[in-house]
Amino acid sequence: MPPLPKRRRSRARQNKRMAHTGRSRILTSQCPTCSSRRVPHRVCPTCGIYNGRQVVTPRRATE
């Protein structure tokens, strides 16, 4: 027979153990060209510029 836990763990003890696995907020920075919020080290979705170069053509809002 395999080993089994001696006692049940309480919810508080379980939650303390699982506390470090929570997700953190997504950090954003300001785009230097268009001043919109963007994720660091990614292409700006508004203007399409990364590292001072035009990498992607920006999407236009459909009306």
- Looking at residue 19, its pLDDT comes to 85
What pTM value is reported for the model? 0.55
> Is 47 in contact with 31 (CB distance < 8 Å)?
yes
List beta partners, residue 38: 29
- Closest C-alpha among 60, 55, 14 to residue 33: 55
> What SS3 state is found at 5?
coil
The per-residue pLDDT string of the chain (63 residues; one tens digit each, 9 = 90 and over) reads: 899 989 999 999 999 988 888 888 889 999 999 999 999 999 999 999 999 999 998 877 555
Q: Give CA torsion, residues 33, 39, 43, 48, to 10 deg.
A: -50
> In this predicted structure, what is the pLDDT of residue 28?
94
Q: Which residue has the tokens 């997504």?
A: 26
The pLDDT of residue 54 is 92
pLDDT at 62: 57
